[in-house]
Homo-oligomer: A and B are copies of this chain.
Amino acid sequence: MDRRQQKTRQAVFHAFSSLLEKKNFNNITVQEIIDEANVGRSTFYAHFETKDSLLKAMCTDIFQHVFSDDLKQENSHDFSHAGHDIQKEITHILYHLQDNRKNLKGLLSCDSGDIFMGYFKEYLEQAFPIFIKEIHCDVPADYLLNHVVCSFSETVRWWITKHEQYTPEQIAAFFIQCVLKQG
């Protein structure tokens, strides 16, 4: 990809993330993003159709890093999964998220956080059915999946936005204890 495009794209991402830490997604204008990123108006619209698609592109960028190689491999041979170390895998995902925490903090601020969470849950719904096979619980399967997916994504939000002092290992332990350790 053209270096000029990369530069513009990153400048806009960074500017937007920075603005999101200060004010609501809804109240940020394209003009502000342009000014903060120091790019031309037409340049912005050459890259992104709307403010929404900009946000979506940022989310996709992060998910491609987080869910890149590892989880898809796991999914491909999930039959051999029963004895797998779930805690290790959760921790692994959390490390990936921590690598992106700079952009994540902006994304998870205020109301944009909810949009990120929505996309995040979509990814998790594909990745998590494996983890819950072992849980026995007398509730509808899709209630349980929703519960686990929401609990994990909210755990991440709690961690990134307000409690960065904890390590991925600790967060994984909290999550597993509260959600997956069903008597």
Chain A interface residues toward B at CB < 8 A: 26, 52, 111, 114-115, 117-118, 137-140, 143-144, 146-147, 150-151, 154-155, 158, 163, 173-174, 177-179, 181-183
Q: Within the complex, what minimum Cβ distance (angstroms) separates A82 from chain B?
A: 21
Q: A139 CA to B177 CA in the complex, in Å?
A: 8
Interface SS of chain A: helix, strand, loop or mixed? helix
Are the C-beta atoms of B118 and A178 separated by less than 8 Å? no
Instruction: Please determine whether B183 and A139 come into contact, CB atoms closer than 8 angstroms.
Output: no
Q: Are A144 and B178 in contact (CB under 8 A)?
A: yes
**Cα distance A164–B163 when bound, in Å?**
36
Q: What residues of B have a CB within 8 angstroms of the CB of A140 in the complex?
A: 163, 174
Expressed in whole angstroms, the minimum distance between the Cβ of A28 and any Cβ of chain B is 12
Residues of B within 8 A of A182 (CB): 178, 181-183
Partner of A147 from the list B137, B146, B154, B173 (CB cut-off 8 Å) is B154
Task: For A147, list chain B residues within 8 Å (CB).
Answer: 151, 154-155, 178-179
Enumerate chain B residues within 8 angstroms of A52, measured Cβ to Cβ: 26
